[in-house]
Amino acid sequence: MNDHSLDGNAMAGLLGEIFPFEMTSVRALCAGCGAMEALGRESVYADAPGMVMRCLHCEAILIRAVEGGGRIWIDMRGVACLQVHGE
């Protein structure tokens, strides 16, 4: 992990526009290594025009997202499964 990484909080606002949950507590199963981790703890790189969330454990890309012009593009192919706590 390099020093430019942020934590998952940095992407939680954007994800919160799409999902009606508090997203830092939602857990993701990494399609790369199989690790299950809360989104708030993953690494986020926001240097690019969009944001990239990488697995805290294997650094595989979990989510890529770009927002602009009233639209959001989100690529979640790196997430095999999301675990959401019911109310």
Partner 1 sequence: MAGTAVLGRLTWQVGEVTGTRTETPRTRSLIVDLPHWPGHRAGQHVDIRLTAEDGYQAVRSYSIASPPEDSQVEVTVERLDDGEVSPYLVDEAQPGDQLEFRGPVGGYFVWDVSRGGPLFLVAGGSGIVPLMSMIRHRQARHSDIPLTLLYSVRAPQDVIYRAELDRLAPDGVTIAYTFTREQPEDWTGFARRIDRDLLREEAPPLNTRPLVYVCGPTPFVETAAGLLVELGYDAGRIYTERFGATGRER
CB-CB contact of 43 with 83 (8 Å): no
Q: Confirm or reject binding of residue 7 to partner 1 (CB under 8 A).
A: yes
CB-CB contact of 74 with 64 (8 Å): yes
* Count of beta carbons in the 10 Å neighbourhood of residue 49: 8
CA–CA dist 10, 7 (Å, integer): 6
Q: Confirm or reject binding of residue 22 to partner 1 (CB under 8 A).
A: yes
Q: Confirm or reject binding of residue 37 to partner 1 (CB under 8 A).
A: no
Q: Confirm or reject binding of residue 74 to partner 1 (CB under 8 A).
A: no
Shortest distance in whole angstroms from residue 26 CB to partner 1: 9
In the complex, the residues that contact partner 1 under the rule CB under 8 A are 1, 3-7, 9-10, 12-14, 16-22, 24-25, 38, 40-41, 44, 46, 67-72
